Amino acid sequence: MDDFNVVYSYSRAQAIADGVLVDVTEQAKQAGFKLPVAIGDHLFNGYIIPPDGLEGEGQSLEGRLNDVFEMLKAAAACRWNESRVMFDVIFVMAPRMIQKVLILAVAGPGDNGEPVLTICLPEDE
């Protein structure tokens, strides 16, 4: 095997500091997760943060995060031995308008080899 030099590396901590990943570890702990959890910014800003005007529709950041966590737990329970799982979540995007979104969750090593969980849109992997 040939040796290679790393030209550039982008750490998870840098991605969180830059806002490319959003750290939701504390909220995930409340939902029963034991690993540090981060969500990709496109998923977080595009779907988990409710669009303006939906407060009266019962939509909140906390509720949408909980929906993602619960659907991930259900999907992972069916595929307990895989490090990657895809699952759908339905989001209310406007009054009487919903959107089904395919989401990817990947368990892998963090910056220091520790187990972490990253949740994102499949195209953002």
Q: What pLDDT does 1 receive?
A: 52
* Nearest-angstrom CA–CA distance, 64 and 38: 15
The CA distances from residue 84 to 7, 38, 45, 75, 96, in Å, are: 27, 14, 22, 10, 32
The pair of three-digit structure tokens given for residue 5, joined into one six-digit string? 């030099």
Q: Let me know if residue 98 belongs to a domain.
A: yes
Q: Let me know if residue 49 belongs to a domain.
A: no
How many domains are contained in the chain? 1
What range does the domain containing 75 cover? 24-39+68-125
* Nearest-angstrom CA–CA distance, 74 and 40: 20
Q: Let me know if residue 104 belongs to a domain.
A: yes
Interval 15-73: pLDDT, tens:
999 999 999 999 999 999 999 999 999 999 999 999 988 877 789 999 999 999 999 99
Do β-strands 37-40 and 115-120 pair in parallel, antiparallel, or remain unpaired? parallel
Q: Let me know if residue 48 belongs to a domain.
A: no
Q: Let me know if residue 123 belongs to a domain.
A: yes
Distance of alpha carbon 72 from the chain centroid? 9
Q: Let me know if residue 3 belongs to a domain.
A: no
Which one, of 119, 121, 117, 83, lies nearest residue 101 by Cα? Answer: 121
* Nearest-angstrom CA–CA distance, 112 and 108: 11
Q: What pLDDT does 18 receive?
A: 96
Q: Let me know if residue 116 belongs to a domain.
A: yes
Residue pair 100/88 in contact by the 8 Å Cβ criterion: yes
Interval 77-114: pLDDT, tens:
887 667 899 999 999 999 889 999 999 999 999 999 99
